[in-house]
């Protein structure tokens, strides 16, 4: 029997955001937007969903006079992401 995949992480854009954050301490909104190719509105909605789930934290501030939104993966997010990757690997190896 295949393990259940976290539906929150099974979205392409949310998975992309989590994958980026898994490899860095934090990332700002502009960087995430550039790396994912998402629109500002769509990225904002997906970040809100990840924040509501407790998978990431968001800090809003300024760099000089420019607003800056910084995202960081939480421990719960790291555990969820690691579990998702492990489950996905099981899908790939069981089907082989």
Closest to 77 measured CA to CA, from 55, 62, 94: 55
CA 32 from chain center: how many Å?
9
pTM here is 0.91
Report the C-alpha gap between 96 and 90 in whole angstroms: 10
Domain boundaries, the chain: 26-86
Residues of the chain with pLDDT under 50: none
Please provide the CATH number assigned to the domain covering 26-86.
Answer: 1.10.10.10
pLDDT at 1: 78
pLDDT at 78: 98
pLDDT at 63: 87
Structure tokens at 84: 């998702």
* Cα distances (Å, whole numbers) of residue 6 to 3, 25, 32, 43, 75: 10, 23, 21, 19, 16
pLDDT at 3: 85
């Amino acid at each position: 029997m295949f393990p259940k995949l976290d539906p929150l992480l099974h979205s392409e854009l949310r998975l992309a955001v989590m994958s980026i954050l898994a490899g860095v301490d934090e990332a700002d909104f502009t960087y995430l937007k550039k790396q994912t190719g998402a629109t500002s509105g769509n990225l904002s909605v997906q970040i809100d969903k990840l924040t509501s789930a407790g998978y990431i934290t968001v800090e809003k501030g300024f760099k000089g006079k420019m607003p800056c939104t910084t995202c960081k993966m939480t421990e719960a997010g790291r555990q969820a992401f690691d579990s998702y990757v492990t489950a996905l690997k099981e899908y790939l190896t069981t089907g082989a």
